[in-house]
């Protein structure tokens, strides 16, 4: 009986594990001082589905790891834009 319950729990948690994280690099505008990347990073990490955000002040980019099922790049762009840093997906 307990084995069955454990099996059921494993099956239920599989979709979360199976979700492949995707990474996108955004070109971020308006980062003029060294505090800006912190603000950008915070705005991205607040977005549900974002697991990691790495902001490069020198390159003016943000590399975001996110769950494709929960969030799309346009939502990430909106998040940084709302924080005062318009961004675009790097080509």
Minimum CB–partner distance for residue 29 and Cu ion (Å): 12
Picking from 51, 22, 39, 52, the residue whose alpha carbon sits closest to that of residue 87 is 39
Q: How many CB atoms lie within 10 A of CB 26?
A: 25
- What tokens appear for 15 in the block? 């979709």
Q: Which helix (H) or strand (E) holds 6?
A: helix 2-18
Residue with smaller CB distance to Cu ion, 36 or 44: 36
Minimum CB–partner distance for residue 36 and Cu ion (Å): 3
Residue with smaller CB distance to Cu ion, 71 or 79: 79
Footprint on this chain of Cu ion (rule: CB under 5 A): 33, 35-36
Minimum CB–partner distance for residue 35 and Cu ion (Å): 4
Backbone angles phi, psi at 60, to 5 degrees: 60, 45
Residue with smaller CB distance to Cu ion, 66 or 85: 85
């Amino acid at each position: 009986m307990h084995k069955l319950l454990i099996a059921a729990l494993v099956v239920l948690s599989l979709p979360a594990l199976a979700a492949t994280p995707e990474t996108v690099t955004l070109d971020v505008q308006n980062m003029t001082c060294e505090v800006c990347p912190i603000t950008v990073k915070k705005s991205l990490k607040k977005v549900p589905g974002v697991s990691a955000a790495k902001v490069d002040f020198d390159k003016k980019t943000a590399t975001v790891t996110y769950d494709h099922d929960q969030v799309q790049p346009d939502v990430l762009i909106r998040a940084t834009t709302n924080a005062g840093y318009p961004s675009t997906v790097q080509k």
